[in-house]
Structures are given as C-alpha cells and as structure tokens.
Structure 1
C-alpha cells in the first residue's frame, strides 16, 4: 500500500477515535492514550505521525475546519432558493453537530491548542466559529446581491450574531439538540428587518 494512503488512513482512524472520546467523555478525557486505545492501536502510532499530542489535536481541528469549506459552497449555492431563514437554520443545524460543539469545547479547554491554531490560521477569532461566521457572511452577501436581504443588511454583524446564537443553542452536551422550530425562530429573530416584504 502506498505510504501516503496508509498515513491518511491512520490519520482518519485516529481522528475518528478522538471524536468518539470527545463525544463520550468530553475534552478533559482526551489524551493520546485514550485516542490510541479507542483506535485499537499502539500509543507509538500517534507519535510516528504527529510531533506531539497538541500537534495531533491541531491537525484534527484544521481537518474539521476544512470541512466547512464544503458546507460553505453548498450554502452559497442555495442562495435564491427556499427561504433565507430556512437555509440558514438548516446550515447552522448541520454545522453545530455534536462533533463541532465538542471541538469548540476542546479549543476552549486547551491553551496550547489555541496557540497553535492561531499560528496555523490566517483568520482571527475562535477557530471553527470564525470560519462558520465567514461561511454565513458569504451566503448572506449572495442573498443581499439577489435582493432577498435589504441593501443595508449588515452581513458582517449578522453572521457572527447568528453563529453565536446557534452555538449557544447547541452547546449543552448533556441535553438533546434544539428542535428545528427553535433554531428557525432564533434565525428569524436575528434577521428581523433585513428581509424585504414579499410582493
């Protein structure tokens, strides 16, 4: 098997194991031993592919942030279809799945991880949340250009407001996720006054 493929498979296996530990036990339980035990491999496997555990966690978060690019493309392509509030509610619900919420908790929990992520990323703010806000801002800009938001709609304020409000809805790891109607109501409230009346 080519080395590149093998390394990628090991990385994905370790990333998936880390996510399972995060979801089940929370960020304080995430150690290199917990990850390799969960992945069913020797502890040395992780350290053969990553300089240290924080390097592993940095790559895990960056990999998951990279997935937002795919979501951003799909969301932007939905501009002009459905309703603005409906598209945003669906996107925010998909964005704040249990893994993403746990990763935000992990970033908050580990100082060294935050430092490395700041060095690795060109954007400021909280990793993952900043990329989410950029995704939402891009979509809102497209909708404003199509006339489905008012010309003066401040997308640079609306986007982080929507992300922050959604994160608060989904952040409790112990309870069930909010109902779709709840997410839709929050989005509609944030967007109040920015959607022109329909003819």
Structure 2
C-alpha cells in the first residue's frame, strides 16, 4: 500500500475514532506513520484529504449513477431506481460523519465549499445527473412525461438523505430496499 492510501486510511480511522475536530493532520500523519510534511505533499489541506476519504473510501454514488445511466431503456425502471436509492442511503449514512463535522466548522466549511467549486463537485451533482437519467427514461416512454424530472430527482435524493440521517437518531426497520421501492413507486407511478 502506498503512502497516499495509508494517509487516506488513517484519516478515515481518525474520523471514526475522534470526529472531524479530533482528526487533525498531525494525528492522521502519526497514524499513517509519516510526517505532516509528507501528508501535505499528497494533500494540500485537510479538506482535500476529507474529500479523498469521501470519494475513495465511502460507498460512492458515482458507480451507482453509472449503473443507473447504463440501465436507461433496459430492465425495470422502478427496480433500477430502487437499486440506486438503496446505494444513495448507504452513501449518505457513511458520509454523515464527515459531512456533520464539516458543517460544524465554519472555516473548514468555507474551504470545503471553495474546493468543491474549483473541482466542480458537490452534493448537487448527483441530483443533476439523476434528473438527466429520469429525463432520458421519460423520452423513452418509461416514466410519465408529466413528471418533473428535476423535482423527482430532488425528492428521491432528499428522501434517501433523510432516511440516512434518521438512522442516527432512531432504530429504523432493516427494510431499506422495501422503503426505497415504495418511494420510487410513488415518484414514477404511471
């Protein structure tokens, strides 16, 4: 395993053990068995390291969106969207530790926002991509043309985000696939 991967692994571990405030670059470097200077050689700042953890260690939405895009016009559209919704809940549940810590630190949040703007990434991108996919399915006649694709994408992602956050506060039934199917059915009902 290379130094960069060791640093990302150490950051992920530190985030789980100490939260975002306690996951200092000094602590992460120590856990990775390297100097802080070497950490900064691989990552320009803590926010870039956090983004690497999100993109490389948390179950990602990218592959789920790719699978969904490749399924346009194929298979059962509701089942395809349900599989995506399950992946979105898993992503939001895993990303909550990092996201809540970033939100709690105004200066880190500002740097993170700036970095997201520079890299043209962020939490809005999967919603835009999902809306495009829903639009493609509409043009193929698989989703009602009257459905507002942007609203449907926002509602589906918002529901997934909400379910993930609820899981931190209450014990939810272990029925995410069934829950996701009901949400999708409501959104794409013809």
Question: Does the TM-score normalized on the shorter chain lie above 0.5?
Answer: yes
Give the structure-1-normalised TM-score.
0.72
Task: Confirm or deny: 8 A CA contact 2:47 2:112 kept in the other structure.
Answer: no
Distance 1:25 1:120, change over 3 A: closer
The 5-angstrom pairing of residues 17-166 of structure 1 reads: 17-58=10-51, 60-61=53-54, 68-95=61-88, 96-97=90-91, 98-122=93-117, 128-166=122-160
Structure 1 residue runs of 5 or longer lacking an equivalent are: 1-5
Distance 1:184 1:26, change over 3 A: farther
In structure 2, how many angstroms separate the alpha carbons of the residues matched to 1:116 and 1:128? 13
Question: Which structure ranks higher in relative contact order (CA pairs < 8 Å, sequence separation ≥ 6)?
Answer: 2
Q: CA deviation at 1:168?
A: 1.2
In structure 1, how many angstroms separate the alpha carbons of the residues matched to 2:148 and 2:42? 44
Q: CA deviation at 1:90?
A: 1.5
Give the structure-2-normalised TM-score.
0.75
How many aligned residue pairs are there? 182
Distance 1:188 1:173, change over 3 A: same
**How large is the RMSD of aligned CA atoms in angstroms?**
3.1
Q: CA deviation at 1:68?
A: 4.2
The 5-angstrom pairing of residues 182-193 of structure 1 reads: 182-189=179-186, 191=187
